Every structure is written in structure tokens, then in C-alpha cells.
Amino acid sequence: MTRVLGFNGYMVLQAENGRKGVELAQLKKPDLILCAIMMPGMDGYEVLNLLHKQSETAHIPFVFLTDTAEQTDFRKGTEIGADDFLVKPFDDLELLHALETRFYKKEILEHYYIKSFLSLEKLTAGNKNGKAGLKTVIAGRKIKQVKKKQILYYEGDEASGLYLLLDGCIKTFKIADNGHELLLGLSTPDDYIGLYSLLSSESYSETAEAVTDSIVCLLPREMVFDMINHYPDINRQFIHMMASNIREKDNQLLLMAYNSVRKRLSQVLLRLSTPLSNPLLFKISREELAGMAGIASETVSRILTDFKSEGLIERVGTHIRIIDHARLKKMKD
């Protein structure tokens, strides 16, 4: 591989084991890292983990090399921040192609890199001292593309960090014994995902899945705690976010407990109509609506038809447009 890459104009540095590889990466800061998963001593996951804890090496694209025979935990790798997997046997062309697409994608993500910086900067609005410090703290954040329906993390996974959604839409949900899923959050750009799990324990308490193709930025666990401890503004924002969230959940709890599905669905529609880009027209699956309101998807269909005939909403294809916002709000039980 070293030879092939050298012929093609790449400059290659080698390390004979995991520990030396980490040291080399920290010293030389390469443009990309290729790393085997199965290694004696420190394995690939550990290498990745270590490099991601350091802000100077966290943003370097990281590609795992793995054998077909090995049972590879792709999910684990993706979650802790691997960018790609190269499965042996692969020929020279495949190798080069993989690296090229990786570099190409990195370029695309640069745009979002700036965006994530702006979002994070917002957190410290008004705080002059230490802003330079924040820059170095957040310099090492990792930007990741998530395809539609791809899982960001599963309930029970180790909470590796906090996700900042830059583009797209991500839902978090829990699954009940009977297989129904309840949507807990529907995140839009600039929202934080997994904050509560990160702050309360070691593992995620819900599953996060991309509703549409999305771009997220992963802030590693340590970085988040650093931010909270060193930046009072961020601290305050997080506290405020959590406290507001609790109030909202209390309201939802009340709704779930004592209101008809009609009312619940109307509230869900209103909740959706605020944050989304086009405030009155949006596309969402019945399944998802059902998950948000805690009802069966068939019932959603029925009620939406009722709402339509009552002139509250309009259906444009599978899109929904809210017509009578006021009357929807005043919905009786």
C-alpha cells in the first residue's frame, strides 16, 4: 500500500503498531489516517478514540482497514467517528478511489465546518474573554454525513459525545415493548442531540435516526464537559435548554395522559409548524406523526381526513398545510 500510494503522489508515514501510530499522528498531523482494526496491543477502536480526544487530531479523516473474515462492528466504528471502511481484499484502484472520495467529501464538509463554528460561537455570545480559547477547544470537532434512515446512535450505546445538527433533520425516539416507537425529539439545524444522555449518564437513553440526509458535528464527551466547566455562557445556555425541555415534556405528559387523540394530533401539528422552514406546509410520514402523538398511524390518517373536511388543514399530495392555525390551537378535547 505504501508503494502504491507513493507512486500516486501521496506522502506516506508508517507506524508498526497502534501506540506508535497515535504518537506519529500527533506529531505529524497527516491529512488522512489508514488504520487496521485488529492489531496486537492497542486495537483500531482505541487508536481512533485516543486521536479524537485531542483537538489537533480529531478532525483528521480516519479510514479503517478490515478483513472480510473479521467480524467488524461497523456501527461502533461509525459512531466513534470513523469516516470509511476498506474491506480486504481490495485492489489498488479501490484504495485510491476510496482516498479520493474521502478527500473530496472533506472539502464539501469544510463549508459545514464554518457553519458549526458559527453555531458554537452563538453559545458564547456576549462573552469576550476566552473566546480565543473556545476556538482551540472546538477546532477539533468532527463533521459527519448521515444518510437518510441511518442511525446516529442506538439506545444503550455508550454516549460518546454531543451531536450538533448542521443540516437535515434527525429524530430521537424510544421503542416500547409492543414495537411502537415514540418520537421524543425532531431536531432541526442548530439543535443539539444527545445532550441529556451525555450529561446524565454513560449511555444514550434513546435512539437517533436521520429523517433526511443530514450533516452533524460530533463534540466528544470530554470537549463538552470542558466547555461546560470553562465557559459560563455555554453552561447557562445548556441549563436553560434543559429546564425548558423539562417544561415542554411536562406539557406533553399532560397531553398524553388526559387528552383525546384529536387534541394530541392537533398539538403535534402546531409543534411542527413552528420550527420548520416553511411554517405552514410540511411533509411528514403518518408513522412519524403517530410516533409523536403516541397513537396508531391509521388513526392519524382518519383524523387528518376529519381535519381536512373541517377546513383546518389541506393535503397537497402527502404534504400537509395548516390553514386554520387558530382553530387548531383552540381544539376541544
Partner DNA sequence: CGTGCGATTGAAGCTACTCAATTCTTGTGG
Partner DNA sequence: CCACAAGAATTGAGTAGCTTCAATCGCACG
Please report, as ranges, the residues that interact with a second copy according to CB under 8 A.
174, 176-178, 180, 182, 184, 195-201, 205-206, 228-229, 232, 235, 238-240, 242-247, 249-254, 256-259, 294, 332-333
**Closer by beta carbon to a second copy, 206 or else 209:** 206
**Closer by beta carbon to a second copy, 13 or else 239:** 239
Per CB under 7 A, does 22 bind DNA?
Answer: no
262 binds, among DNA, a second copy, none (CB under 5 to 8 A by kind): DNA
In the bound complex, what is the minimum distance in angstroms from residue 319's beta carbon to DNA? 7
As a three-state string, the secondary structure of the chain is CHHHHHHCCCCCCCCCCHHHHHHHHHHHCCCCEEEECCCCCCCHHHHHHHHHHCCCCCCCCEEEEEECCCCCCHHHHHHHCCCEEEEECCCHHHHHHHHHHHHHHHHHHHHHHHHHHHHHHHHCCCCCCCHHHHHHHHHCCEEEEECCCCEEECCCCECCEEEEEEECCEEEEEECCCCCEEEEEEECCCCEECHHHHHHCCECCCEEEECCCEEEEEEEHHHHHHHHHHCHHHHHHHHHHHHHHHHHHHHHHHHHHHCCHHHHHHHHHHHHHCCCCCCCEEECCHHHHHHHHCCCHHHHHHHHHHHHHCCCEEEECCEEEECCHHHHHCCCC
317 binds, among DNA, a second copy, none (CB under 5 to 8 A by kind): DNA
300 binds, among DNA, a second copy, none (CB under 5 to 8 A by kind): DNA
In the bound complex, what is the minimum distance in angstroms from residue 207's beta carbon to DNA? 17
- The C-alpha atoms of residue 192 and residue 223 are separated, in whole angstroms, by 14
In the bound complex, what is the minimum distance in angstroms from residue 286's beta carbon to a second copy? 16
Per CB under 7 A, does 298 bind DNA?
Answer: yes
Interface mask toward DNA for 305-324; x: CB under 7 A: x---------x-xx------
Which position has the grid cell 450533516? 215
11 binds, among DNA, a second copy, none (CB under 5 to 8 A by kind): none
**Closer by beta carbon to DNA, 71 or else 309:** 309
**Closer by beta carbon to DNA, 122 or else 315:** 315
State the maximum Cα–Cα separation within the chain, in Å, rounded to a whole number.
73
Question: For residues 204-243, which are near DNA according to CB under 7 A?
Answer: none
188 binds, among DNA, a second copy, none (CB under 5 to 8 A by kind): none
Per CB under 7 A, does 302 bind DNA?
Answer: yes
Per CB under 7 A, does 178 bind DNA?
Answer: yes
46, 21 contact by CB (below 8 A): no
Helix axes 286-293, 261-273, angle to 10 degrees: 110
176 binds, among DNA, a second copy, none (CB under 5 to 8 A by kind): a second copy
- Binding-site size for DNA (CB under 7 A) equals 22
In the bound complex, what is the minimum distance in angstroms from residue 152's beta carbon to a second copy? 17
**Closer by beta carbon to a second copy, 114 or else 256:** 256
**Closer by beta carbon to DNA, 249 or else 283:** 283
Which position has the grid cell 425548558? 244
Plot region of 273 (φ>0 → left; ψ -120 to 50 → alpha; else → beta): alpha
**Closer by beta carbon to a second copy, 130 or else 294:** 294
Segment lying near DNA (by CB under 7 A), choices 1-9, 37-45, 96-104, 297-305 = 297-305
Where on the chain is the footprint of DNA (CB under 7 A)? 178, 180, 260-262, 285-287, 294-302, 304-305, 315, 317-318
